[in-house]
Structure 1
Amino acid sequence: MNHRNMRTAMRVGMLPAGIAIALAPAFAFAQEGGEQQATTLDRIEVTGSRIKRADVETSQPIFTLSRAEIQKQGVTSVADVLQRISSNGAALNTTVNNGGDGSAGISLRNLGEGRTLVLVNGRRWTQGLGGSVDLNTIPAAMIERVEVLKDGASTIYGSDAIAGVVNIITRSNFEGAEAGAYLGQYSQGDGNREAYDFTIGTGNDRGNVMIGASYVKEEAVMAGDRQISAGGPPFFGGQSNTGIPGSFVVEGTDNVRYVIDPVTGLRTRFSGNVYGYNSAPDNYLLTPQERTSLFAQANYDITDNVRFKTEMLYNERISEQLLAAMPVTGMTLSADSYYNPTNPNGAYVDTPSFQPGGATDLIGVNRRFQESGGRSFNQNVKNWHFYGGLEGFFEIGDRSFDWDVGYRYDKSDENDLTYGLFNLANLEAAYGPSFDDNGVIRCGTPGDVIAGCVPVNPIGTTGSISPEAIAYTAFTAHDSSSVVSKSYYANVSGDIVDLPAGPLAFAAGYEHRTESGQFEPDAFIAAGLSTGNGSKPTAGAYKLDEYYLELAVPVLADMPGAKLLDFSLATRYSDFSNFGNTLNSKFGFRWKPIDDLMFRGNWSEGFRAPTINNLYAGNTDSYETYVDPCNGGGANPQAAARCANEGVPTGFQQPSSQTGEPFTWTSNPNLQPETSETRTLGFVYNPSWLEGFDISVDWYKIEIENAITRPEATFILDKCYSGTAAEQAVYCGLYSRDPSYPGSPYIITQLDMPLLNLASYEVEGYDVTLNYRLPETSFGKFSITWDTSYTSDWSVKATEDSLAEQRQGLYLQDDPYWRIKSNLYLDWSYGDFGATWGMRYKSGMDEDCVLYDEEDMTLAEAYCSDPYRVTADGAAPRNYVGAVTYHDVQVRYNTPWNATVSVGANNVFDKDPPVSYSSSYNNFDAQYDLPGAFYYVQYRQRF
């Protein structure tokens, strides 16, 4: 056996048993001339380092999930597995209907999906325009294990590795064939899921080829099919003031809103509790999707020291979100409309509501167009991935050095269709003058008919808007986007010189990467001609060159009090075409005073580069809630003086906190990267007196500066009217007033809300992981895995001068900050039988009591846990969102024909999610399991 192969074999033998078994198929040995020789060039690289090691325990905390552990959780997506881990916060998933897009991500430390780097086999994966990775693009069938690095790693991997790194390792050197099938359903009989996969591989002493396919179909659950999300007191569900029949305001009646009662025909004052529309049942609670994947991997030993490797993947996702029918608001029904209740020649002339000689027009007609069937958002996303590279080793003297070069290409194409939107021009025509032409209601006047137009009756009950009127006013939006990422790289690593405690090892490399993307909204949306918010096209690209150097420095070994002491150092230089360069470094240590105990720690710098959307996204309309600094003449003398200079009257009153005209979200091509500093300190204890037991405890602290954020409208205006001269120079050019605005002169009609490097974050906490593989008994083998994260501090500052806002233990709207997340898994096996019991815990949180009403405390007293809470700032009622523990169970059997049958249930005790009064939708947060136990069966056949 040559020098390098002996070293490779030794590394496999020195691994912990579980990982050595998992990696063993990657090494094939053949007898040749009586000498055992390795015919592959694989060596071990641990996530967080480019230096190939024999010891997988690095100075950085890593949590590993094996293929077997993933299968024991009974889910159909790797996203479902990763979102359960204790260090994950709130990330997009398929429970997010309003605001979701079918993708699913991971947000380590609750710092956002863009600050968690996702790798596949140590290389970047396809990102969206916003910088996040859709984990649904990675089929579970191709995964061997997942390594989660709970530390910053920008010095090794570059941008985005601030909160941590998820490295998904795929199966390699697979031989034989394997097929799997999965069927599942909620206890309520809905939310069906099915998944099928097939993998085949073959190889010889020089190479291996593996190909596979997978298909996953997940069906929807309607919000109306669960009590918590169906609507009703105290929430009044999705009770909307835009209901059926349509409500209206008659000119000259002090803005009193009326409806025509469908029973009496009388004009009646509108009441949301009586005439409002419960939109909740019309929404998806769990969104549906289908995923189809084809993947292939191959490697071939070109020579004894050069190997070719390649990966290819195609993934297609078809997904949908469904919202209640469009609420059409702010429309004016013409005085000459046939459906105007004051029209003496109209439809309502014979009803009690008709008032001859009354007002001759209607304003502010609000009607939910339920006849359209709802707003359906559909995505068809296709992803292509290719990697090709060479790897090998060379020798200089008696030293061996590993090298690899490669090229990566990723592309994502998305085509979206949105149904249930409306054409504003056609709506205005359909709300305009209309008349009865011998029983046919036509748009326009008898001498000037609008061809093709069908009038709308927005005052009537369900069915009053005809299918022809829907067909005339509705339109289907067509949007498209694409992202392309390309990179090529070169790495080299090896031992430089032998020191008394061991070899000084290094890794160095270069990478060139280009990112480009575009978004093309529907022409009607781009022109602001639809009932949805307007959005402009996006297009942009950037490129970068990066160089890194990593060192592993042994200091002491096999000495009293220092069985091991070594340091790791790394630095990375990144040069971006859009903002310039950045240098980030890292230092870590490992110290083993005795064989059973290892202390570890790290300090690292990190960064996150602005994304294509951050830099180049087209302007987007947004209706904002804000406070005008000129309301009442100005909050202070400085503000009052500026208001007067702008001509705003002293008695100016802001008509509404909600903008009547949309403000504009803008990108910013001058953004700089976010910067971070991460520190970790902990220990790993493997007592020799308790075989099979190990525990790790790690403290972490992450500080982020120059975080990219979008200031709120009120913040921008306050800085302009009451800020320093420097702040006024930044913010005062972002808005404009209209002195001639009808009914409200001098209101703010336009305000740009750009992205800026303003915020900062500080997150601190502890991770504890315990594993215990008990000695084998006559009752079988037992093992325990317990993984827990505790957040002691999670704070954010809107600007450098702002007060820190503490969030740990709080629930903000659709944004939970648990103090504790913990997962405990108990596993048993006996011969061909096995079972796993899992418990997933999320601690309770406090939320603002949004049911608080100072004049009527009925709802607050009935539903809020602390309705009379008072702080130094005054009344601050709160509600407690309870802790929850989910129980999962799986039993399995290995058959004599080389198959495994598994039957299980997630949330087996049908635990409901904790009610949240401030959650935007469904009355619970999307990070919790749906109500109902989920039962499944899966079958896996090996050939």
Structure 2
Amino acid sequence: MRKTLLTPLFVVAALAAHAQKITVTGRVLSTTGEAQPGATVLERGTTNGTATSADGDFTLAVTPGATLTISAIGFATQQIAVGSRTRIEVRLAASATDIGDVVVTGSRAAEGRSNILTTAPVDVISAREIKAFAQTDVSQVLTYAAPSFQSSRQSISDGTDFVDPASLRGLGPDQVLVLVNGKRRHTSSLVNINGTVGRGSVGTDLNVIPTASIKRIEVLRDGAAALYGSDAIAGVINIQLKDDSTGVTSTGYYGQTTQSDGKTEQADINIGIGLNKRGFLDLSGQFINRGYTNRAFTDTTPLVYLGANGGNYPATATTEQSRRDLRAQDDALVAANGFDRNDLRVGQSASRNYGGYLNAGYRLGMGYEVYLSGGASYRTGRGSGFNRLPSQPTQSDLQLFGNGFLPFINTTIYDQSAILGLRKSFGGFAADLSNTFGRNELAYNVDGSVNASLPTNPLNPTSFYAGRLAFLQNTTNLGFSRRFTDLGPLATLNVAFGGEFRVDNFQIGRGEYASYINGGRLYNGAPTASGSQVFPGYQPQDEVNKSRTNLAGYVDLESDLTEKLLVHAAGRAERYSDFGGNVSGQLGARFSIIDALALRGSIGNGFRAPSLQQRYFTNTSTQFVSGVANQVLTVNNDNPIVRNSYDATGQRGFGVEPLKQEKSANYSIGLTASAGRQFTLTVDAYQIDIRDRIVLSAQFTRTNPLVNTILGTLPVSRVQFFANAVNTRTQGIDIVANERIPLGEKSRLLLTAAANFNKTEVRSFNSSSSTVNGDQTAGTSNLQNTLFDRAQRTRLESGNPRSKINLAAAYTYGIFSIEARSVRFGEVKTADADPARANLDQTFSAKWISDLTISAQFTKQLGLTVGANNIFNVYPDKIYVDPRNNANNFSVDPNLSYSSSLDNSNRGRFLYNANQFGFNGAYYFTRLNITL
């Protein structure tokens, strides 16, 4: 009965509260009368707000007597009392101190600063920029928007086909830390072991975060291990989630290349919900279906059916006539069997991604505020490996695949994360207690393949479950901060301190029995390859379940010592359960020479703990080297093969020391300037020295007698492992200039010029990781050169562009806007591992990639964008091969001489280098935006 009475009373009260609302309309302009689209209009003290339309208009229902807070980038914020008015016009004055975006990354100060007023450089990519061009995932958005960031999709590289390796300031994927809402995000479970950039590293999968959920991305271009801990050697990427309390936005997207592949369909939605004026709930969802691309060319393998060593001429064919006869016989078999020489797929993998995210905050009362964010994604991928020819019977089953086969790797990536926190002020200090959980799992399935070692029978499997990788991280933080003013001689002093406890866990799960077993089948007396071709499953001895803990404490101080001098100091001490501790510190300062010109700089040391993946990853993979399939053993650093001079049985090993943390020293100096009301310029030079850098070695082969002895009876031909092998120095300069030009009441022009120039050099090798039992000339070759060979060194130093220049312009007139951007991707280089084949080294020249979009905002609710990425259809330089370097070539068509993989080990298979900007060519798209 009581419930029955209360229900209508609650409804009446709710209707009465709603009836008390008044609707306020208005327009936000500059002092010169220019409309300000995207300005924020917020009812002060609540989360009730909206954004202005393309004409600067807004409509908002507020309580009587409300005060509106109106803000826009580059303008001073205004507070406007509504009173009895229902129509308001606001003119915002430009503010030199508010000309840049306010950022929170790089400092634990209680109040954010403009990004030209900080001691370290920070790029800000807004939600508008994220949606402005063709890119649909976070890593590609950053590649084109932030010159210091680089990521490109790889091809035929196992799991790396599905998790894009990324780089900041020319360093590795594992030397940049990713935060979400200022909290550490977990890394991927994948370790890159193939011949791609970022080889041997473990990065963060940025593409699991829906772009619809992102308010802005802040890229801190400075070493920040003293602030945030391990991994922040190159800098920090902080993804700030949307915190809207009202409105629904949705996007539909479709695009494809001019070669009618790479079709991409995307749909996303973002919903902002107010929680009784005490909080907000922001929900986002995204679906992306991305098709594969293929830029392979016709297979020019000399002998498809009668060849040896991957289709080359057998050693018995010593004369040109004998080779011509074999070629004629083989061509006849190709025609008779209908063999298709378009037998390889080289390009981006196919992918389908479902993801959702939430971000919420709620004031509980008594000064407590609880916040929650988190998400989950489910992504499937499909990418090919190298094809197996009929002339490779030990890697196939000719009764099942008489014409050979093209195997496929199918991945399923599960990713979950959650941040739960509580805030409260005690004694003037803002306290923040949070727990951050993250988990990433990558499962492998193989189809269109075979385990060649299994006896042929009608039930022989052609698809396999090959196992999984999983990484889990849980981080608990407790932090305190307080901003003091007028503290003695100090204008301000912000004090922050706290602690962190983290647990990491890495797992490898075995594949099904048929995916890794050697069934013992022989072909003409020769042994056949074990496991599923293209990706042998993880074996029982590969299984891992390893954990570690980390305890850390930090202190952070920031003070305006004077009106002209800002100083920032931070220190952090950490203790890892598996390898020990580290202490890092940082000192930064900014000095205003005049109001419009300042110098800034920082100095500090940092570190990166070896990931659990680098410590414990083990597997056997099939990798093609010079057209021949090899079983390559990646063995973990704790294995007797790597660590011991002799193992328990007396077997000799490589004698490499245990993995330890990388240590860095960071130096930067820069200049910030502003002119007029809208122009800003920042120039920052930096140097990053890294000692004991962890790399994945090159492959040691059985052709070396000592390696053959170490490998013993293991069914592998090559071995590789992780070691703290090299010391590097990275130097560079970042330049960013922005100009906002009002051109009238309805039009404005935004101009951006940004550039990064960087150079990484290997300065020395660490002897403890470069010897084999103290003998650098063991066997028949110098094994130090094998540990980190020419191909590895060139990939580390020049695998990513050493420069990138970004020029962009956005012009708005009324409901229409046009945005143009051109990005110059600098040159990259490849080198052959063998110094005797240095003539195969290649430099790929710099290229300009231009994007163009045209948009129309027809109504407040409906907008349309059409545009193109790489509008001029630019491709990288072709990869060349000198026919004189191949003893099996007796006659070569020069038009078919372009080939090779990125490390020159699979000539005849690739046409382009993927490490600059990919090789998909021109891509066109359309995007429909709906706002309710």
TM value normalised by structure 2: 0.72
Structure 1 residues 243-322: aligned runs within 5 Å: 243-244=304-305, 281-303=343-365, 305-322=367-384
Answer whether contact 1:814 1:919 (CA < 8 A) is retained.
no
Answer whether contact 2:136 2:211 (CA < 8 A) is retained.
yes
* Alpha-carbon distance in 1 for matches of 2:925, 2:377: 24
Equivalent position SS for 2:460: helix
1:632 equivalent in structure 2: none
2:818 matched to 1:835? Answer: yes
2:856 matched to 1:893? Answer: yes
* Alpha-carbon distance in 2 for matches of 1:596, 1:893: 36
CA deviation string 1:795-829 (max 9, x = no partner): 45443699999999x97599634332111111100
Q: Given residue 493 of structure 1, which amino acid in structure 2 is its aligned partner?
A: S
Q: Given residue 520 of structure 1, which amino acid in structure 2 is its aligned partner?
A: G
| Structure 1 residues 184 and 213: alpha-carbon distance in aligned structure 2, compared to 1, 3 A threshold | same
2:731 matched to 1:764? Answer: yes
Answer whether contact 2:181 2:239 (CA < 8 A) is retained.
yes
2:615 matched to 1:615? Answer: yes
> Which of these residues, 374, 378, 386, is aligned with residue 406 of structure 2?
374
2:751 equivalent in structure 1: 784
* Alpha-carbon distance in 2 for matches of 1:241, 1:521: 38
* Alpha-carbon distance in 2 for matches of 1:553, 1:212: 38
Q: Given residue 636 of structure 2, which amino acid in structure 1 is its aligned partner?
A: T
* Alpha-carbon distance in 2 for matches of 1:282, 1:269: 19
1:934 equivalent in structure 2: 923
2:8 equivalent in structure 1: none
CA deviation string 1:347-391 (max 9, x = no partner): xxxxxxxxxxxxxxxxx9999947565211111112121111111
Larger radius of gyration: 1
Structure 1 residues 524-603: aligned runs within 5 Å: 524-527=514-517, 529-530=530-531, 531=533, 532-533=535-536, 535=538, 536-557=542-563, 564-603=564-603
Alpha-carbon offset, residue 248 of structure 1: 9.3
> Which of these residues, 167, 172, 176, is aligned with residue 107 of structure 1?
167
1:75 equivalent in structure 2: 135
Alpha-carbon offset, residue 527 of structure 1: 4.1
* Alpha-carbon distance in 2 for matches of 1:266, 1:162: 55
Alpha-carbon offset, residue 846 of structure 1: 5.4
Answer whether contact 1:60 1:602 (CA < 8 A) is retained.
yes
Q: Given residue 401 of structure 1, which amino acid in structure 2 is its aligned partner?
A: F
Answer whether contact 1:284 1:321 (CA < 8 A) is retained.
no
Q: Given residue 826 of structure 1, which amino acid in structure 2 is its aligned partner?
A: A
Equivalent position SS for 1:81: helix
1:506 equivalent in structure 2: 495
* Alpha-carbon distance in 1 for matches of 2:328, 2:309: 10
| Structure 1 residues 281 and 269: alpha-carbon distance in aligned structure 2, compared to 1, 3 A threshold | closer
| Structure 1 residues 88 and 106: alpha-carbon distance in aligned structure 2, compared to 1, 3 A threshold | farther
| Structure 1 residues 840 and 368: alpha-carbon distance in aligned structure 2, compared to 1, 3 A threshold | farther
1:448 equivalent in structure 2: none
Alpha-carbon offset, residue 303 of structure 1: 1.4
Alpha-carbon offset, residue 624 of structure 1: 9.6
2:679 matched to 1:709? Answer: no
CA deviation string 1:907-942 (max 9, x = no partner): 112222222335435321223243432111111111
* Alpha-carbon distance in 2 for matches of 1:587, 1:598: 17
Alpha-carbon offset, residue 693 of structure 1: 0.7
2:30 equivalent in structure 1: none
Equivalent position SS for 2:453: helix
2:621 matched to 1:667? Answer: no
* Alpha-carbon distance in 1 for matches of 2:41, 2:753: 24
| Structure 1 residues 109 and 674: alpha-carbon distance in aligned structure 2, compared to 1, 3 A threshold | same
2:670 matched to 1:682? Answer: yes
Answer whether contact 1:97 1:285 (CA < 8 A) is retained.
no
CA deviation string 1:378-437 (max 9, x = no partner): 11112121111111323x3xxx321211111212233321113322332xx44xxxxxxx
CA deviation string 1:511-557 (max 9, x = no partner): 11111121223234444531455742232111111110011133222
Query: Greater CA deviation, 288-297 or 322-331?
Result: 322-331
2:245 equivalent in structure 1: 174
2:382 matched to 1:408? Answer: no
> Which of these residues, 140, 143, 160, is aligned with residue 211 of structure 2?
140
| Structure 1 residues 126 and 749: alpha-carbon distance in aligned structure 2, compared to 1, 3 A threshold | closer
2:424 matched to 1:392? Answer: yes
Q: Given residue 28 of structure 1, which amino acid in structure 2 is its aligned partner?
A: T
| Structure 1 residues 777 and 410: alpha-carbon distance in aligned structure 2, compared to 1, 3 A threshold | same
Equivalent position SS for 1:736: helix
Alpha-carbon offset, residue 144 of structure 1: 0.7
Query: Greater CA deviation, 587-596 or 498-507?
Result: 498-507
CA deviation string 1:661-696 (max 9, x = no partner): 755533338321111111111011012xx3311110
CA deviation string 1:129-148 (max 9, x = no partner): 33321111100000111111
Equivalent position SS for 1:666: coil
Answer whether contact 2:502 2:550 (CA < 8 A) is retained.
yes
> Which of these residues, 227, 232, 235, is aligned with residue 156 of structure 1?
227
Q: Given residue 279 of structure 2, which amino acid in structure 1 is its aligned partner?
A: G
Structure 1 residues 320-331: aligned runs within 5 Å: 320-327=382-389
| Structure 1 residues 660 and 272: alpha-carbon distance in aligned structure 2, compared to 1, 3 A threshold | farther
Alpha-carbon offset, residue 473 of structure 1: 6.2
Relative contact order, higher structure (CA 8 A, sep 6+): 2
| Structure 1 residues 666 and 717: alpha-carbon distance in aligned structure 2, compared to 1, 3 A threshold | farther
Structure 1 residues 851-862: aligned runs within 5 Å: none
Alpha-carbon offset, residue 80 of structure 1: 1.1
| Structure 1 residues 173 and 715: alpha-carbon distance in aligned structure 2, compared to 1, 3 A threshold | same
* Alpha-carbon distance in 1 for matches of 2:560, 2:394: 78
Alpha-carbon offset, residue 777 of structure 1: 3.5
Residue identity (%): 21
1:65 equivalent in structure 2: 125
Answer whether contact 2:433 2:477 (CA < 8 A) is retained.
yes
Query: Greater CA deviation, 913-922 or 405-414?
Result: 913-922
CA deviation string 1:2-24 (max 9, x = no partner): xxxxxxxxxxxxxxx99995796
| Structure 1 residues 150 and 96: alpha-carbon distance in aligned structure 2, compared to 1, 3 A threshold | farther
* Alpha-carbon distance in 2 for matches of 1:24, 1:604: 40
2:519 matched to 1:487? Answer: no
Structure 1 residues 108-257: aligned runs within 5 Å: 108-129=168-189, 130=191, 131-203=202-274, 204-223=276-295, 229-231=296-298, 239-240=300-301, 243-244=304-305
1:359 equivalent in structure 2: none
1:46 equivalent in structure 2: 104
Q: Given residue 673 of structure 1, which amino acid in structure 2 is its aligned partner?
A: Q
Answer whether contact 1:668 1:754 (CA < 8 A) is retained.
no
CA deviation string 1:295-327 (max 9, x = no partner): 222211011522111113121101110234335
Answer whether contact 1:552 1:566 (CA < 8 A) is retained.
yes
Q: Given residue 784 of structure 1, which amino acid in structure 2 is its aligned partner?
A: L
* Alpha-carbon distance in 1 for matches of 2:394, 2:155: 37
Answer whether contact 1:786 1:824 (CA < 8 A) is retained.
yes
Alpha-carbon offset, residue 285 of structure 1: 1.4
* Alpha-carbon distance in 2 for matches of 1:698, 1:272: 63
2:897 matched to 1:923? Answer: no
| Structure 1 residues 134 and 898: alpha-carbon distance in aligned structure 2, compared to 1, 3 A threshold | same
Query: Greater CA deviation, 798-807 or 75-84?
Result: 798-807
| Structure 1 residues 500 and 924: alpha-carbon distance in aligned structure 2, compared to 1, 3 A threshold | same
Answer whether contact 1:297 1:310 (CA < 8 A) is retained.
yes
Equivalent position SS for 2:921: coil
Query: Greater CA deviation, 294-303 or 406-415?
Result: 406-415
* Alpha-carbon distance in 1 for matches of 2:818, 2:68: 40
Answer whether contact 1:280 1:324 (CA < 8 A) is retained.
no
| Structure 1 residues 92 and 793: alpha-carbon distance in aligned structure 2, compared to 1, 3 A threshold | closer
> What is the count of residue pairs matched by the alignment?
758
| Structure 1 residues 71 and 329: alpha-carbon distance in aligned structure 2, compared to 1, 3 A threshold | same
